[in-house]
Structure 1
Amino acid sequence: MQNPNNLVVTPNEPDIDGDPDLARVVIPLLKGIVYREDPLQWGALLMLQGRVRDFVGVLGLTLMLDESEGYAFLRARAEIDESGALKLPRLVARRPLSFPVSLLLALLRKKLAEFDASGSDTRLILARSEVVELIRVFLPAGSNETRLVDQVETHINKVAELGFVRKLRGQEGMIEVQRILKAFVDAQWLAQFDQNLAAYQRSLEGQADVLQTGPDDE
């Protein structure tokens, strides 16, 4: 129905302005990922998740909540619905990733899968030197060691900015791989990336052969 000011009023539509409890849960989700490590925020989210889903649904977003892994985030719905109608503009921006960052995410995701299969612990913690070794095999032979370490540190910082790893306080060069990585890097993404990576490795091997034999060798 319409009010005297000709504004459309929709009954039962979630209202964040008049609900400070809902606002305290939704606003952090709009900013990024919510983890179980914040017990007050996590508990409020679990208690209000039905209302949160209703509210973010109006914005064209879906609440992705994994209680067993301990994280929650918002994901944009498809931009075109089944009828072909255009949906709401995206509130969650897509972030293009460089090849080195994509490579690091894929390697960390595989490392997380191996770690889970071992059943040893729930937290995957790696030293920067271990990350360097993960990436080294995918770089041209003879890469400068100092430059390599600096580049890896830059890539780790980017992955940390995206929320997929966390640097440990008081432990220089140590990172924890966040389990939310499993939600973003799935089997299909890994399979597609592996195909590109295989082609990349073949090109590196070709470069190595040229360096060993020389361009004029028969």
Structure 2
Amino acid sequence: MSEIPESALSLPLIALFKGVLYQEDAPPLWQDLLSVQNQVRDYLNVLGLQLILDEAEGYAYLRQSQDDGSETSLPRLIARRQLSYPVSLLLALLRKRLAEFDAGSGDTRLILSREQIADLLRLFLAEGSNEAKLVDRIDAHIAKVVELGFLRHLRGKDEQFEVRRILKAYIDAQWLGEFEQHLRSYAEQSGATASGDELETP
């Protein structure tokens, strides 16, 4: 059995520690990861991390292993972020939109305009009398989701966004179910003081 080059292991690991590794963004790294994934998993296991690899969707990322609460539990390397309620709401709405898209389209890329994303949120955000402030708030929420890695600007088209398919891995049925438990009460309030959910982000 031939020896695995050091770079074939170290480069995919470095990419994963920096964030999500997408097949379309780095085909050579992706192929390296596929060829050494067992060794990568062994290395990460020592650090209390798991490799989540979806060949069909073409992405891989790291997830913290479950903490058993014992004294020997390792420190958390991947932080959980407390999201604002509007950002949590937007993630849930985008996740549902992606599910509808997958059910009714043969395409793999969901592209939405800024206005389409804003329309998803308008129903839940108190408009008041200042449309400009509402637009600014919505743009800030969209920017946060871009920062988290779940939306991506299309090159040369600032008003067009691709919904990254990794959203399906982070926003699962359980997360949506818990979120919807207090969605109704949020819709009845202004949302100014409502808290969001925690999410282990890319």
TM > 0.5: yes
3-state SS, counterpart of residue 161 of structure 2: strand
Among all aligned residue pairs of Structure 1 and Structure 2, give the percentage whose two residues are the same amino acid: 55
CA distance in 1 between counterparts of 2:133 and 2:18 reads: 33
Residue in structure 1 matched with residue 75 of structure 2 by the alignment? 89
Give secondary structure in 2 for the equivalent of 1:57: helix
CA–CA distance in structure 1, aligned partners of residues 55 and 64 of structure 2: 20
Mapped to 2, the partners of 1:86 and 1:202 lie a distance apart of: 45
Structure showing the higher strand proportion among its residues: 2
User: Counterparts of 1:98 and 1:90 in 2: how far apart (Å)?
Assistant: 22
Q: Does 1:200 align with 2:186?
A: yes
* Correspondence for 1:213: none
Equivalent pairs, count: 185
Question: 1:31 corresponds to which letter in structure 2?
Answer: K
User: What's the counterpart of residue 195 of structure 2?
Assistant: none
Q: Which runs of 5+ in 2 are unaligned?
A: 191-202
Checking the alignment, whether the CA contact within 8 Å between 1:79 and 1:89 is kept in structure 2 is no
Aligned residue among 159, 163, 170 for 1:177 = 163
Q: What TM-score, normalized by structure 1, do the two folds share?
A: 0.80
DSSP 3-state at the match of 2:61: strand
Taking the TM superposition and a 5 Å limit, the aligned residue runs for 1:1-218 are 19-37=6-24, 38-80=26-68, 84-142=70-128, 144-203=130-189
Give runs of ≥4 in structure 1 deviating > 4 Å: none
Return the structure number with greater relative CO, CA threshold 8 A, min gap 6: 2
Tell me the alpha carbon deviations over residues 156-177 of structure 1, each in whole angstroms, 9 at most, x when there is no partner: 1111111111111111211000
SS in 2 for 1:203: coil
User: What is the Cα-based RMSD across aligned positions, in Å?
Assistant: 1.5
Counterparts of 1:196 and 1:143 in 2: how far apart (Å)?
26
Contact 2:49 2:65 in 1 (8 A): yes
Rg bigger for which structure? 1
